[in-house]
Structures are given as C-alpha cells and as structure tokens.
Amino acid sequence: MRKDGTFIAVEVADETAADAALATKLTEACPVDIFATADGGKLEIVEKNLDECVLCRLCMDAVGGRGPDLVKILKLYDDGAVLV
Amino acid sequence: MRFFEYEAREVVKRAGIPVTDFGFTTDPGEAREIAQRIGGPTVIKSQVLTGGRMKAGGVKFADTPEEAEAYARDILALEINGHMPRGVLVDPKAEVEQEYYAGVVWDGTRKQPVMIFSPVGGIDIEQVAEEQPDKVGRKHFSNILPFGDFEAKEVIASTGVTGSALNKLTPIVARLAKLFVENDMTLAEINPLGRLKDGSFVALDAHMDIENEARGRHKKLLKDLGVGDEETRQAREATPFELAGEAVDSQDHRGVAGNVTEFDGNLGLVIGAGGGSLTLFDAVRAHGGQPANYCEIGGNPSVSKTCGLAKLVLQKPGVDKIAVMMSIVSNTRVDIVARGVIKACLELGHDPAEKIAIFRIPGAWEEEGFKILEKYGVEYADRSVSLNEAARRAVEKIQGTTAASETGAPGLIPGGHT
Ligand code: SF4
C-alpha cells in the first residue's frame, strides 16, 4: 500500500498492513496521525496528514526495527530518498 | 487589555485599598436608587474606554437622586469618540482636601515595574513631571522578589510627604504595587487618590491594563468582573483578515502561526522566532518596503498551520509576494515551514519560486529545508545573511530592482531552477 503527499510518501508492505497488531502499533507510534486502523484491524494511511511527517522514524521502530522493509518513508523532495 | 473604571475600582477594592461607595449600572432608574443609597451629591460618570469624558459631557454632578437618574439617561445615550458607554458609574461627591497620584507601570526597557507617586494628583502625571519634577517620586522594584512596604515608603517620602499622611499612604501604594504584580498588569493607576477632611485616603478614579497574554491566568478575576472571552478591548476591532489569522492559529495545538495584524502594503510577511517578527517588520520598513501584514510564527507549528497562514497572506488583496524570514530557529523546523509555505503557493496555483521573494530561516533541520526550497526553485539564504540584509533583499525584489550582482552575493543561494 502506498500514498503520496507533496513532500512525503509512505509505503507499507502488504503483510504489515494486514497485521492488526502491527497496525495498532503504527497507529499509536506516529505523532502526526499518518496511520489509522480501520474496522477489522487493517491499516490505513491518512493521506491528508502525509506532509506532516516529521521524519522521526518511530513507525520504523514500531515494526521491530524492520523499518524500510515493512514501512518506507520517502522524501519526494529529495528524489524519493528513503528514510533509513 | 484595558479595564473600565468601574472594573478597575473593583480590583482596587479587592486589594484592600479604600474606595468610595460607588455603584455601576446600565439603567437610569437604578442610578437613582444608587444615588439614594449614597445619600448626598453624586457624580455620574460615563464608562467608556476613551479619554475626554469630561469635555464631551460624560461626567455630571447631581445634587439629587432625580438629577442622577436624568444625567444617567443622557450619558447612557452619549457617544464619546465613537464609543457608546458600557454603563454609568454613580459615585459619592467626596469632600477632598488634597489630590494625590499613585501608579505602577511596566518599564519595558528595564523589564521591571516602576512605582510612581506624586502629592499632585488629579491631572496627568506627565504634566506634573514636566512642571514640578521634584513632586514625582519613582522607584523600580522586582516583580519576582516579595515586595517590601518600605519601598513604597521611600518613594512617597522622596516627594516630601511626611507624618501621618506618609503612614497612611504607604500601605495603599504597597497594595497597588502588589496588585500590579499579582494580576500581570502593565498599568495600575489611582488618580486622583483623595485625602478627605478626616485625613483618610480614598481612591477616586483608577485606570488599569492587564497584559493580554496573561488573561488565561486571571480567568476568575475576569469572570467576576464580567469580562467575556470575546472582549479583546484592543485599540480597534480586529479586521476579518486578523480574525482569519486567529482561526488558522487555533486549528491545532502545535506552535504558533498567526497573531496577524493587517497593513496595506504589497509584501506579505511570514515571519517570527524570538522577537524576529518585530525586528523583521521594522527592517522591511527601514528599507522602504510596505508590509501587508505583521505575524508571528514560532514553537514549531504544523505544516497545515503554516500553510494556512501563508495562504491567508498570499490571498490578501494587494500582496505581490511573500517574504519568509525568521531569526535562527531551534525548536521550529526549517523543513516544516518550507513545506507549509510551498504547499500554500501550490494550492493557490502559484509558482513558489515567483511568489516567495526570499526564504531566510536558518537553524533546525535546515539541510532538509534547503533541499525542499532547491527543488521548487525558491531563493533562500542561510545564517550568513543577516535579518536586515534579508529584509533589504526582499524589498528590493518586490520593487523589481534586484541587482544582477546579487545572485552571487555571499550566503544567498539561488533556488535550483532548471
Ligand atoms: S517517520 Fe514519524 S511522523 Fe513520519 S510516518 Fe513515521 S512515525 Fe509518522
């Protein structure tokens, strides 16, 4: 799953998006509410908040350090550089 | 925020300073009842937040309750300098032997309150200071350390007041100083402070201003006085542009991006950080620029809030370009502000490189911020360019006289136009 803002894009691996426990962790971790949990526990990316991303990496920590593999933060203003 | 006289008198009374047995009303019939209760000649005073009441006929002396009612009716219908009265104050006509002045005012240069006392009251203290400087005592005091009554005594004594008057005035002036600090005031003045025939002192009029930013700390007092949250009591009513700025600022809790004041120039300002707004505003004017607004950004506002502020300024009629400038930021992030202002341009269909005259915000996350600005071709400056120089360049740009030589000026990085 991927959503793009003007400055930031977020990509979440399908297995992560479908994992209710990880979805909850991501929803709780992000300080600017980029993740939400839909009914049924599936992860959603809140498009209107994408450009608020503060590049804090908390989402990457929340998925057990498997950051860019499971959750990718892309800086669109920097040729799509991936936050590591 | 300025208090009406009847409110200021109530504040004085609560501090334990003797006041006359006054009453406040918005109803002429009630004015008669108050005058009846007082029993004797009264003064009916218009309650307006402007000067010149006496001259305009907003202060009248009544011998009977019926007269008090008639005067109250006239005064309630009387507009003074464009202000309709909030009500009238009905005050006993005191038999005063001498009028004094006592005041405390915030000295912004010393960053301390200064207590001022004079045995010549009833007229402007500025006039007394000019005509009889030896009759004005002054003393700065700490607004952190506890206030000592001896400090008040020193000031009063310095004007030649002695004996029983000195002893009776000391607690009054000390209480005024304490109420000033406790209520976060910028002005607390009793003028005149009257000495009656029996030697006692009584506050006959009071003027008070509370620091606007401190209103939240004095909710109970304001509620008790009946001051509504919506009452700004500024020198003029907020314009729709300024109200829209407030709405932007209150859209979320993160940081500040608002406090806009409307001007009629063509250079929109998105400015702030640690006094930077005032410095930058002055710098723009000093270089012949015409600001379209004043505003404040700080405390790391969200992208959407910054975007909202920039959009508001960009949409203001007459604005050709905006200048985004702050002093060196620490908690506010350069990249977040850059995102906000660029987003504003894009959402309004403008080319950020065209609309942003200069972006001069060095500090936290500047590397990321500068990458964003490069991508959109916005001209930006780092910390080697002073606030003054940034303001000059913004003005020059909007006036269309940017010197070709500037492109290579130190610290100025032309955006990455392709
Ligand atoms: S980096 Fe931080 S702000 Fe950005 S999506 Fe992850 S948790 Fe949210």
pLDDT of the residue at B258: 87
For B368-393, how does the pLDDT look when each residue is reduced to its tens digit (9 = 90+)? 999 999 999 999 999 999 999 999 99
Instruction: Write out pLDDT tens, residues B84-122.
Output: 999 999 999 988 999 999 999 999 889 999 999 999 998
Which atom number of ligand 1 is nearest to the Cα of residue A57?
Answer: 1
Which of these, B356, B357, B354, lies nearest to B393 by C-alpha position?
B357
| pLDDT tens sequence across B242-295 | 999 999 999 999 999 988 999 999 999 999 876 788 999 999 999 999 999 999
Minimal-distance CA residue of chain A relative to B334: A54
| Count of CB pairs separated by less than 8 Å, A with B | 26
CB-defined site of ligand 1, < 6 Å: A 10, 29-32, 34, 53-59, 73
**φ, ψ dihedrals at B164, nearest 5°:** -65, -35
Q: What is the pLDDT of residues B30-72, one digit of tens each?
A: 999 999 999 999 999 999 988 888 889 999 999 999 999 999 9
User: Which contacts qualify for B413-417: CB closer than 8 Å, 24 or more apart?
Assistant: B413/B370, B413/B374, B413/B379, B413/B380, B413/B381, B413/B382, B414/B379, B415/B353, B415/B373, B415/B374, B415/B376, B415/B377, B415/B378, B415/B379, B415/B380, B416/B374, B416/B375, B416/B377, B417/B353, B417/B377
Give the residue whose CA is nearest to atom 7 of ligand 1.
A30
Q: Where are the domains of chain A?
A: 2-82
Going by pLDDT thresholds of 50, 70 and 90, the confidence category of residue B359 is: very high
- Return the ligand 1 atom nearest residue A60 CA: 6
Between the CA of A59 and the centroid of ligand 1 the distance, in Å, is 5
- Closest-CA distance of chain A to residue B305, Å: 10
Contact residues, chain A to chain B, C-beta under 8 Å: 6-7, 32, 51-52, 54-55, 75, 77-78
Nearest chain B residue to A50 by CA distance is B303
Identity (one letter) of the amino acid at B140? Answer: H
Taking CB atoms and an 8 Å limit, are A7 and B372 in contact across chains?
Answer: yes
pLDDT of B401 reads 47
Write the residue in A6, A32, A54 that is nearest to B343 by C-beta: A6
The pLDDT assigned to B403 comes to: 38
- List, in order of start, the domains of chain B with CATH numbers: 21-92 (3.30.1490.20), 96-225 (3.30.470.20), 240-408 (3.40.50.261)
Q: Report CB contact under 8 Å: B343, A32.
A: no
Whether B117 and B104 have beta carbons less than 8 Å apart is answered as: no
Q: Average pLDDT over chain B, rounded to whole?
A: 91
User: How far apart, in whole angstroms, are the C-alpha atoms of residue B52 and residue B224?
Assistant: 28
**Per-residue tokens: B18:** 């003797």
ipTM of the complex: 0.94
* Percentage of chain B exceeding pLDDT 70: 95
Q: How far apart are CA B18 and CA B14, in angstroms?
A: 9
- pLDDT tens for residues B130-159? 999 999 999 999 999 988 899 999 999 999
Mutate to test the interface with A, among B300, B303, B311 (most CBs of A within 10 A): B303
**Pairwise CB contact (< 8 Å): A77 & B371:** yes
Task: Write down the architecture of domain A2-82 according to CATH.
Answer: 2-Layer Sandwich (3.30)
Rounded to the nearest angstrom, the minimum Cα separation between B320 and chain A is 24
Tell whether the model's pLDDT for residue A65 goes beyond 90.
Answer: no
